[in-house]
A and B are shown apart, each in its own frame.
Chain A
Amino acid sequence: MASATTRPAPITPGRPRRRRLWRDTLIGWSFILPNFLGFALFTLVPVIAAFGLAFMDWDSYGTPEWAGLDNFQRLWGDENFHVALRNTLYYAAGHIPLTLLASLGLAMALNRRLRAVNFFRTAAFFPYITSLVAVAIVWNMLFNPTAGPVNLLLEAIGVQDPPRWVSSTDWAMPAVIITSVWRDMGYYMVLYLAGLQTIPKEYYEAAKVDGAGPWQRFWGITLPSLRPTTFFVLVMLTIQSFKVLDLIVVMTGGGPGRSTLVLAQLVYREGITEGQFGYSSAIALVLFLIVFTVTIVQFRINERRNAT
């Protein structure tokens, strides 16, 4: 990347060259500056500050003081943090594989030449652009333990004593996961559809000639060819799962009890509601490090697989 910044060495180093460089620099910055000012002030500075604050002792009344690793020590013994970390992992463990399977399934089903296929694709994508508040309201009612359609359906197919979903500490997280899978699958379906279209038709034709059935074609051609897409989807899903916040805030508020309290919500609560700026930044840093590590690991695994 960096090699592109310097122009090839001039044959006769002289003033016009340098003046041109000056002029290009000025022009370049003049294009970037309007966005950069806002970006630097409202994104870059807070990002850097977030790292610094994690090592400070600061609440909304006092002044920031260097605290070293105190915040992290406190974190280690904070039960809320343990619960939130466990819940976040639980959410990720459900949301990542289920969304992946659902979006791949949708893409496979809708990757065909049919007259109405665009209608079906639009329908599958629509939950994703529905506002989160509307989604949470509807699903909360669908999951109503006594009269909600979900439990009526479960009872109709013979499930006795169906789960109490968002009113129960055991079933609130599965309810959130189901809702989030429903909402996000259309988004990742679009990515998978784009991936499916890059697979040359000749592969399938050759396989058919060889007598490979649909199942064999899927495992032998589709899945290996989709590996770059799957990798990308996996990384995106991981990041998205670990930072989940708004769905939880609107749907369960972290409850009942602490059963759906997640890390990002703890950051919000400690930092913005309680004004514990230093401590909440330490939680945020842990959240970032988890996302960062998982992403790096995924990149490594993908590299190794590509090498073999």
Chain B
Amino acid sequence: MTALHDPPADTRRPPRHAAPTDPAGSRHPRARRTLTYAGLTAMTSLTLMPLAWMLSASLKRDAEVLAIPIQWIPDELRWSNFVEIWQRIPLATYLGNSLFLSLTITFLQVLTGSFAAYGFAKVRFPGRDALFLGYLATIAVPWQAYMVPQYIMMQRAELTDTHWSIILLQAFGAFGVFLMRQYYMSIPDELCEAAKIDGLSDYGIYRRIMLPLSKPALASLALLTFVNTWNDYMGPFIYLTSNELWTVQLGLRSFIGQYEAEYAMIMTGAVLSVLPILVLFLFGQRYFIQGIATSGLKG
């Protein structure tokens, strides 16, 4: 993000006298801090309320879910919902498919993305920047505008209703190249020059210097790609028709269609579909935030 701030005009006047700074704050620091915490807690509770409601509903009976008044902690916690759901729908298959697709796509994206990013950032050759501009231009085109030609291609190649269609369409995105190039550009060229004098080839520099140095960026890219693939709905929705290929998102959606009134079980499924991402996010949130703040782009 660029930091182009014009100095505000009205702060340049000479100070009149040494005024006591922030009178209200310094007189009652503790009261003020308590108030701040109370405000933030209220705001956060409001934000998380839908998710809390989801969790609470997942532990109820169907009839209790929409009962009035809302019981946030049900009298009887029905943990059995979390056992029963595995028999109701092939959840293990769905989770396995989601995991397989997310891991494969993340692996390919990180590998080819960082590899290509080195070519764009550290090797000079004619046509390089024009090519990169081509990558950038497609990021600006919404995916929705070219999903039909993609579908036609996959249909002609007879790859619809296979995991291949999803992998091929999502593993080579321009996003990974863009994110990694940003990072490699910040690594000084002198470092590569010095390594070359020491006899390292470009491939050696990539493997021995760039990869270890760019671990945070690699982690950001991996996490963002994984979560995007895990949560993706439209890709599997368009391409996967066989039940045994479905991801957890598709399985959950069809579950609602079939058993509309089983509110509690639906919520149980929703909780289970979110849980892996929650765990991943709590462990790697630093990389998440960095990835978003530096690229500002979604995959």
Contacts and interface: CB of A to CB of B under 8 A. Distances in A.
B115 A34 contact: yes
B119 A31 contact: yes
Interface in A180-200: 182, 186-187, 190-191, 193-195, 198-199
Interface string A1-45: 110111100000000000001001101111110111111011111
Given A28-B125, A42-B150, A50-B149, A211 B171 contact: no
Contact of B172 (A24, A35, A144): A35
Nearest to A245: B144
A245 B234 contact: yes
Interface in B55-71: 57, 65-70
Contacts of B176: 35
A93 B117 CA distance: 37
Contact of B37 (A41, A116, A210, A220): A116
Given A39-B172, A47-B141, A182-B50, A221 B11 contact: yes
Given A122-B282, A126-B51, A239-B142, A284 B1 contact: no
Interface in B239-264: 248-249, 252-253, 256, 263
Interface stretch (A65-73, A77-85, A145-153, A164-172): A145-153
A112 interface: yes
List the 4 closest A-B pairs by CB distance, nearest first.
A38-B172, A31-B119, A271-B148, A35-B112
Nearest to B119: A31
B54 interface: yes
Given A42-B150, A110-B40, A249 B116 contact: no
A236 B126 contact: no
B47 interface: yes
Contacts of A109: 39-40, 43
Nearest to B148: A271
Interface in B86-145: 108, 111-113, 115-116, 118-120, 123-131, 133-135, 138, 140-145
A39 B173 CA distance: 6
Contacts of A137: 54, 252, 256, 266-267, 270
Contact of A44 (B66, B128, B130, B134): B134
B4 interface: yes
A40 to B, nearest CB: 9
Given A125-B285, A306-B4, 15 more contacts: A5-B126, A5-B129, A25-B125, A27-B202, A36-B116, A46-B147, A124-B44, A131-B231, A134-B54, A147-B68, A207-B8, A220-B8, A277-B149, A285-B145, A288-B145
B261 to A, nearest CB: 11
A114 interface: yes
Contacts of B36: 112, 114
Contacts, number: 326
A206 interface: yes
A43 B142 contact: no
Contacts of A295: 140
A263 B282 CA distance: 36
Given A134-B273, A209-B15, A284-B148, A141 B66 contact: yes
A229 interface: yes
A45 B134 CA distance: 12
A154 interface: no
Contacts of A306: 4
B274 A149 contact: no
Contacts of A46: 146-147, 149-150, 153
B249 A27 contact: no
B53 interface: yes
A133 B273 contact: yes
27 contacts: A1-B133, A28-B128, A30-B119, A31-B120, A31-B202, A32-B131, A34-B112, A39-B173, A43-B146, A47-B141, A109-B39, A123-B47, A123-B48, A124-B43, A141-B65, A144-B66, A187-B292, A195-B1, A199-B5, A210-B11, A210-B16, A225-B8, A229-B1, A232-B296, A243-B145, A245-B234, A284-B147
A240 B142 CA distance: 8
A243 B249 CA distance: 20
A301 interface: no
B227 interface: yes
A239 B145 CA distance: 12
Given A133-B253, A243-B143, A53 B149 contact: yes
B19 A131 contact: no
B35 interface: no
Contacts of B120: 31-32
Contacts of A206: 11-12, 15
A289 to B, nearest CB: 9
Contacts of A120: 40, 43-44
Contacts of A41: 168
B145 A42 contact: no
A31 B115 CA distance: 5
Contact of B123 (A6, A24, A194, A209): A24
Contacts of A124: 43-44, 47
A271 B151 contact: yes
B81 to A, nearest CB: 15
Interface string A93-110: 000000000000010011
Contact of B145 (A135, A194, A284): A284
Nearest to B47: A124
Contacts of B267: 137-138
A227 B7 CA distance: 12
